[in-house]
Structure 1
Amino acid sequence: MATTNPLTVLPRAARRFPRMAPDMSLLPRGKIITVADDVTTRIYDTGEEHLRPVILLHGMVATGMLNWYQTFQRLRGEYRLITYDQRHHGMGHNGPFGFAELSDDVFRLADHLELEAPVVGGYSMGGIVAQLAARQNPSRFGGLVLAATGTGAERNALEKITLGGMARTQPLLNAVPEEVAREITDQPLGPHEWALRELAATPMSTHRSVISEVGRFNSLAWLHELDLPVAIVKTMRDIAFPQRIQDEMADLLPHSAVFPIQGGHAVCATQPGRFARRMRTAIGWVVSNSH
């Protein structure tokens, strides 16, 4: 009896994602580790201990490698690249969820790997987590790269509408049925099947939790205290974090530089190659300006 390819039941937009599929042979294998306080996660680490470490924090709905695979492919050998699945995403820890816990996990991972002054890059939700971690102890980091993120959201009616729309219409998350994810998981995975499985690994309850946390976040009162270099990868067509929110972040930070990219909030998926090249420039600026 003929079998049905599970990918053919997906909406056309989902089948096109990601626009540039990863070359799986160029990516490090993920492994499950336990850090402080019995927090477990899946980590990807290029492992070059002689290179400057860069911790990359993914955004909502993504997993570590799904958000950053092109950055890993293009920057491997230039930096020691590290990413992991944050709580309630992918294979991340299933304990208490909140941005405070997520920021503590950055220190848990850095301590576990004995990293000295890592650069921390954060995308969307990951950028908020990076801000909170730097506020807690900026001396631990060599600098930040904040991409597609800002000082907060939901501070007026328009932003509430935008965040509410994100909660209802996450375009790709809702397009991957659970039965498709299960069927794909049992097969040797090609790059597109792998990406769809990663997308399906985050439950809708996590999306709602993250959006609620984003709505409560506001770093306007303390960003000026962060005495470390911060590069901002400014997404010019972003409706989740509009340009003015990204601009106010840059204006408040005492040591910042802006690296614009023409794209929306999902530019890491829609233009992964261009985004990775912009990350190279932004990380390089941070490293060259580190104390």
Structure 2
Amino acid sequence: MSHVTAADGTRIWYDVLGEGDPLLLLNGQSLDHEMWDGVHTELARRHRVVRMDFRGTGGSEAPLDEPYTFALFVGDALAVLDELGITRTHVYGFSMGGKVAQTFAATAPERLGSLVLGATAPGGRNEVERPRSSTLALRRAGTAAGRDMIAELFYTPAWAAAHPDTVTRVLPRGPLRAQRLHFGASTGYDGWDLLPGIEAPTLVVHGEDDALTPVGNAALLAERIPRARLLVLPGTRHGYLHEAGAKATREVLDFLAEHPLSARD
């Protein structure tokens, strides 16, 4: 693990595991790199996997004076890639990280191989809204009751009860002010007009029973992005990447194998 200094002086945490075509992982809202624990080790069997913490979470610094934007997050990601000498990479974004990945695809297409969008949405007025109860859970995530609500949104109850450590990894991290800045960046995003211009091969992955980011958003993304492929995992919620981890990771790896970076060099 290490740090790179972004353009505005903020120190951004990252680590690297494995060998092969690079694969950048982008975290969910207010979550740190630990949300990928277990998943990233499987991905690293075939890829040079790069995890990073968005500013305001985990090992990265948390400047609080200015709003966070997805353009700022993409700039931080590019700083990490530059530090590692990575000129092109696959990108796998989960939830809010999927919105950052859309921005990456639109603003730095020359740096992108293929794109995986997990449990995410297009933002703006076209986004299929979550139930108000799900938003309430996000706002209460720092409380004991909120923890239980988040667990239920991410996983089926029996699975959550059997995997308490995984539940802990998907609870918001970092200063409360930084969490609010993450929330503001996510809710202020509208990528609808960006999506038709995404040229990278794209896989959209979603849990069928996701109430945090309703599955209708996956269909919108797959229809809006040219030639995108859609994978809906039955019986899973927002945290499909853990509860249906074996199938989801296998499908992602197979998709990435169809689009090696060398094929487009």
**TM-score, normalised with respect to structure 2:** 0.79
* Pair 250,218 (structure 1): closer, same or farther in 2 beyond 3 Å: same
Structure 2: how far apart are the matches of 1:242 and 1:201?
A: 23
Structure 2: how far apart are the matches of 1:74 and 1:205?
A: 34
Aligned to 2:251: 278
Structure 2: how far apart are the matches of 1:87 and 1:112?
A: 17
Aligned to 2:151: none
Deviations 1:133-156 (A, max 9, x none): 111121211121110101115668
Deviations 1:180-202 (A, max 9, x none): xxxxxxxxxxx977985885742
Aligned to 1:267: 240
* Pair 89,276 (structure 1): closer, same or farther in 2 beyond 3 Å: same
* Pair 156,126 (structure 1): closer, same or farther in 2 beyond 3 Å: closer
What SS does the corresponding residue of 2:232 show, helix, strand or coil?
strand
| 1:74 has 2:74 as partner | no
Question: Which deviates more from structure 2 when the two are superposed, residues 210-219 or residues 32-41?
Answer: 32-41
Match of 2:105 among 107, 130, 134: 134
Question: Which deviates more from structure 2 when the two are superposed, residues 262-271 or residues 252-261?
Answer: 262-271
Question: Which deviates more from structure 2 when the two are superposed, residues 152-161 or residues 128-137?
Answer: 152-161
Contact 2:89 2:261 in 1 (8 A): no
Match of 2:191 among 197, 216, 219: 219
Structure 1: how far apart are the matches of 2:28 and 2:132?
A: 20
Count of aligned positions: 245
Contact 1:143 1:290 in 2 (8 A): no
Q: Which structure 1 residue ranges, 5 or more long, are not aligned? A: 1-29, 177-190
What SS does the corresponding residue of 1:254 show, helix, strand or coil?
coil
Aligned to 2:230: 258
Contact 1:36 1:112 in 2 (8 A): no
Contact 1:233 1:278 in 2 (8 A): no
Give the RMSD, CA atoms, in angstroms: 3.1
* Residue type at the aligned position of 1:67: M
* Pair 282,67 (structure 1): closer, same or farther in 2 beyond 3 Å: farther
What SS does the corresponding residue of 2:98 show, helix, strand or coil?
helix
Structure 2: how far apart are the matches of 1:259 and 1:79?
A: 21
Contact 1:153 1:214 in 2 (8 A): no
Aligned to 1:240: 212
Aligned to 1:60: 29
Aligned to 1:152: 123
**TM-score, normalised with respect to structure 1:** 0.72
Contact 2:92 2:101 in 1 (8 A): yes
Deviations 1:168-223 (A, max 9, x none): 243888549xxxxxxxxxxxxxx977985885742333333323322221211221
Match of 1:106 among 72, 77, 80: 77
Contact 1:90 1:201 in 2 (8 A): yes
Structure 1: how far apart are the matches of 2:176 and 2:199?
A: 37
Alignment of 1:16-27 (within 5 A): none
Contact 1:162 1:240 in 2 (8 A): no
What SS does the corresponding residue of 1:38 show, helix, strand or coil?
coil
Cα deviation for residue 247 of structure 1 reads: 0.7
Structure 2: how far apart are the matches of 1:222 and 1:198?
A: 28
When Rg is computed on C-alpha atoms for both structures, the one with the higher figure is: 1
What SS does the corresponding residue of 2:260 show, helix, strand or coil?
helix
